Amino acid sequence: MKLNNIFYTLKVVIFLFIIGSTKISQAQVDYGWDNQIYLGNKITFGKNEWKFSGELQTRMKDDFQSLDNWYIEFVSNYFYSERIEIVPDFRYTIKPGKFEFRPGIGILYKKTIHNVHYVNQIKYQMDISTLGDISHAFREVIFLNYPFNDKIVGTTVAGFIYRKRSNWNGFQYIRVGPGVTYLFDQQHSLNFSYFIGVENKTDGWLWAGIPMVQLVISISNQSDYKYMPAYYFNF
C-alpha cells in the first residue's frame, strides 16, 4: 500500500466524521460536552505466530465523577502473514445495572512506510446484555505510529463504530486524536492518548474529551514473535 492510499483512507474517515458533525446540528437534543477518562492495565505474551493479551480497564464519565463501566478483555492475535493479523477477542463488561458479554473478530492490516507504522483495524462484535439486549457493531479504525526515538512513539488515531440494533442502526461513535507511548524498556510501556469523540444517543449527540492512560507489561520480547505485532488498541 502506497502512502497516498493511506491518506485516501484517512480522508474517508474524516468525511464520515464531517457527516456525523453535520447531523449533530440537526439533532433534537443537545447533550453538550463531557469529560471522560479511560484507565487500563494490560499484560501481553506469546511466541511465534501467536500473541495474547489481557486487560483490565475502568471508564469514568460525567466529568470523571460517575462510573461508566469497567471490563476485562482477552485478545488473541494470529500473525497470518507479515502484514495481516487475525484477531478474535472477548470482553466482559460491568455497567451500572447490567453486565455485557462481547465476542468479536477482527482483521489488522499493517505496513511500515517511511518509518510510519500504519495499522488498519476492521472488526465485527456482538454485544449481549444480561437484560436480554443483543446488538451488533462494525468498526473501522486507522492508527499511524511514528517512533521519534528509542523511547517515544507518537500515534494518531481516527475511527468509527457503526451499531445495529433491532430498533435502531447508525454511527454510534466517531473518535479522533493523538497519542504518545513511552517505552521504559522492552517489557514496560505507558500509553497516553486524547480523543475528541462524539456519541450518537439516538435522540441527540454527545461530544466528549477522553484521555486514555494505559500501562502495558509485555512478558515476551519482540524477538519472540515471527512478525512485528501491530500497535493498536480497542476503544
Would you state the pLDDT for residue 11? 54
Average pLDDT over residues 132-139: 95
At residue 2 the predicted structure's pLDDT band, cuts being 50, 70 and 90, is low
The mean predicted confidence, pLDDT, of the chain is 90
pLDDT at 159 over 60: yes
Give the integer Cα–Cα distance in Å for 95 and 59: 10
68-101 per-position pLDDT tens digit: 999 999 999 999 999 999 999 999 999 999 999 9
120-131 per-position pLDDT tens digit: 999 999 999 999
Kindly state the percentage of the chain with pLDDT values over 70.
88
Give the integer Cα–Cα distance in Å for 216 and 25: 39
Using only C-alpha atoms, the chain has a radius of gyration, in whole angstroms, of 18
* Residue 144 near residue 6 (C-beta atoms within 8 A): yes
Q: What single DSSP character describes residue 68?
A: E
169-206 per-position pLDDT tens digit: 999 999 999 999 999 998 999 999 999 999 999 888 89
Task: Spell out the alpha helix ranges (H) of the chain.
Answer: 3-25
Q: Which residue, chain included where needed, has cell 465485527?
A: 124
Average pLDDT over residues 48-65: 97
pLDDT at 22 over 70: no
Pairing of strands 169-183, 84-95: unpaired
- Written out in words, the top-level CATH class of the domain with range 3-224 is mainly beta
Would you state the pLDDT for residue 31? 86
pLDDT at 17 over 80: no
Question: What's the pTM value of the predicted model, to 2 decimals?
Answer: 0.87
Instruction: Compute CA 7 distance to the chain's CA centroid, rounded to the nearest angstrom.
Output: 19
Q: What single DSSP character describes residue 144?
A: E
Would you state the pLDDT for residue 14? 55
